[in-house]
Amino acid sequence: MISIKNVQASIEDKEILRGIDLEVNTGEVHAIMGPNGSGKSTLASILAGREDYEITSGSVEYFGEDLLKFDPEERAQKGIFLAFQYPVEIPGVSTTNFMKTAINKIRESRGEKALDAVNFLNLMKEKMKLVDIDQSLLSRSLNEGFSGGEKKRNEIFQMAMLEPKLAILDETDSGLDIDALKIVANGVNKLKSKNNATIVVTHYQRLLDYIAPDFVHVLYKGKIVKSGDKNLALELEEKGYDWIKEEVALV
């Protein structure tokens, strides 16, 4: 599905990613872990098309196309979804309204007709149930005055609505208590299918107790320094990141 090759990126001349290689296929869940400042969120942002970063070399192929040449909205229309670490507030625009605009823009880009009110509402109801979110939250201004948990749950709700091919969860677990974490993870699991893929970016292992990854990668100083299965995550939980740092230092 997506093939990331030797991607290097910097912001204001500061090198952040120093050659990332990653291959994700449909049906897979990849976890990207690493200490603070290792470049995890940068990787997520680059895939979504944030312009703050300069990609100095490398390539990203997505379903055979050069992903990097597309605008962020085109990437979204092609099925890439980023659950934000810090979801943005948009006063006066309800989640419902926001989703309606988004869905119809995406449909338009695919040459499909806009959803009528009835079909849209039915879709909303179905997805609300799936991620256990309340109607009243969706009528409020997007993310305005939401608690941390509500914001993250709202992100997962949007993900459910947009049915992405590749979902990237950027530190979705940060700031969540255990109940909220379960709800979010539960939503992600329900959305998983053999036709889509998920990249979970996280600092801690605990989210991976609920979302079982097929692969775990450790990002450190802008490079993937170790890959493995979910046992790697457990090892990290147990030992912390220091042993990885030492290993890298030795090389």
Among 5, 21, 27, 50, binds other proteins (CB under 8 A): 50
Report the residue from 91, 194, 242, 251 that binds other proteins according to the rule CB under 8 A.
91
SS3 10: strand
Q: Any idea which residue has 């970016």 for tokens?
A: 201
Interacting residues of 15 by C-beta distance below 8 A, sequence separation 6+: 8, 9, 56, 222
Q: Which stretch binds other proteins (CB under 8 A): 28-36, 53-61, 85-93, 202-210?
A: 85-93
Judged on CB neighbours under 10 Å (0-12, 13-18, 19+), 126 is: exposed
In the complex, least distance from residue 99 CB atom to other proteins, rounded to whole angstroms: 8
88, burial (CB in 10 Å: exposed 0-12, middle 13-18, buried 19+): exposed
Residues 154-173 that bind other proteins (CB under 8 A): 158, 162
Could you say whether residue 215 binds other proteins (CB under 8 A)?
A: no
Of the pair 49, 222, the CB lying nearest other proteins is at 49
In three state form, how does the secondary structure of 32-90 look?
A: EECCCCCCHHHHHHHHHCCCCCEEEEEEEEECCEEHHHCCHHHHHHCCEEEECCCCCCE
Please state whether beta strands 141-142 and 90-94 pair in parallel, antiparallel, or not at all (unpaired).
antiparallel
Residues 60-79 that bind other proteins (CB under 8 A): 71-73, 75-77
Number of residues that bind other proteins (CB under 8 A): 36
In contact, 180 and 187? CB cutoff 8 Å: no
Decide: is 148 part of the binding site for other proteins (CB under 8 A).
Answer: no
The answer to whether 112 contacts other proteins (rule: CB under 8 A) is no
Binding mask 219-238 for other proteins (x = CB under 8 A): --------------------
The piece of 97-105, 128-136, 200-208, 234-242 that touches other proteins (CB under 8 A) is: 97-105
- Output 136 or 231, the one with its CB closest to other proteins: 136
Binding-site ranges for other proteins (CB under 8 A):
48-51, 71-73, 75-77, 81-82, 84, 87-93, 97-106, 109, 114, 117, 141, 158, 162
